[in-house]
Amino acid sequence: MKQGLLITFEGVDGGGKSTQLLLAAEYLRSLGYEVVTTREPGGTLLAEQVRSIVLDAALPLTTTTQTLLYLAARSEHVDKLVRPALAAEKIVLCDRFSDSTMVYQGLCHGKTLAELGELRQLNLFATENLVPDLTLVFDGRPEVLVERRNLRGVTDRYEQEGLEFQQRLRAGFLTLAQAEPERIRIVDAEGSMGAVAAKVRVVLDEALQVAKDVE
């Protein structure tokens, strides 16, 4: 590739996206690509400190406050880590990115796609118009995936919201995927780790071929 790729991993809690990101990184490296793995909020010292704030269930943050904190962390993350890696022709795999903001702070709070305009503009400002080349949404029934979350233990404010909130999350991600089918690909997350990883590899192979075709 003559340029880097930004591939983001999204979906409801318990979908296995973090594990699949690491497996995807191993696969891409086996093909000879340079890969950077990161997460949001996080990726830099400042952004990791913001992460500890926004995910702390003991802190009563409004949706607006959460949004601004996420965007501040994303601005730092993109500037210090993501763009330099892309400029170096690396593939960046990121655990959550802008679509999570659209869902968690937008669609889950009653907004429609048409009402996300202001939030989209704020995100584009924070990222200087950076949009993922590919987004994988790990989808599954929350009542099935909840068992995986329980094995990890409930640790942050969103996982404590309960099943109904997870159902709204799922609906939000599916709404985004329907609106942007070329960028956002849905991966069935209810299978075994190996089965899901095989599906991810198929999607990655397709994306890599497209990237080569446009060189």
Q: What are 59-111's pLDDT values in tens digits?
A: 889 999 999 999 999 999 999 999 999 999 999 999 999 999 999 999 998 89
Is residue 207 scored above 80 in pLDDT? yes
Domain with residue 30: its CATH number is 3.40.50.300
Q: What pLDDT sits at residue 165?
A: 87
pLDDT for residue 215: 65
| Domain enclosing residue 33, as ranges | 5-213
The beta-strand segments (E) located in 70-201 are 91-95, 134-139, 184-188
Strands (E) in the chain, as ranges, are: 5-11, 35-39, 91-95, 134-139, 184-188
Of 47, 93, 106, 123, residue with least CA distance to 204: 93
Q: What does the alpha-carbon distance between residue 200 and residue 203 come to, in Å, rounded to a whole number?
A: 5
Q: What confidence tier does 145 reach under pLDDT thresholds 50, 70, 90?
A: confident
Count: domains in the chain: 1
For the whole model, what pTM was predicted?
Answer: 0.93
Are 200 and 24 a contacting pair, CB within 8 Å? yes
Res. 151: pLDDT tops 60? no
Query: Lowest-confidence range among 2-6, 17-21, 193-197?
Result: 2-6
How far apart (Å, rounded) are the C-alpha atoms in residues 181 and 176? 8
Q: How far apart are CA 49 and CA 36, in angstroms?
A: 20
Of 100, 92, 65, the closest CA to residue 172 belongs to: 100
In this prediction, residue 199 has a pLDDT band, given cuts at 50, 70 and 90, of very high
Dist. CA 172–CA 155, nearest whole Å = 22
Taking residues 145-174, what's their average pLDDT? Answer: 74
Q: What is the pLDDT at residue 56? A: 87
Average pLDDT score over residue span 142-171? 73
Q: Is the pLDDT of residue 136 over 90?
A: yes
pLDDT tops 80 at residue 146: no
Nearest residue to 16 via CA among 186, 169, 193, 173: 193
- Output the average pLDDT for the chain: 92
The pLDDT of residue 36 is: 98
Measure the N-to-C terminal CA separation of the chain; round to a whole number of Å.
7
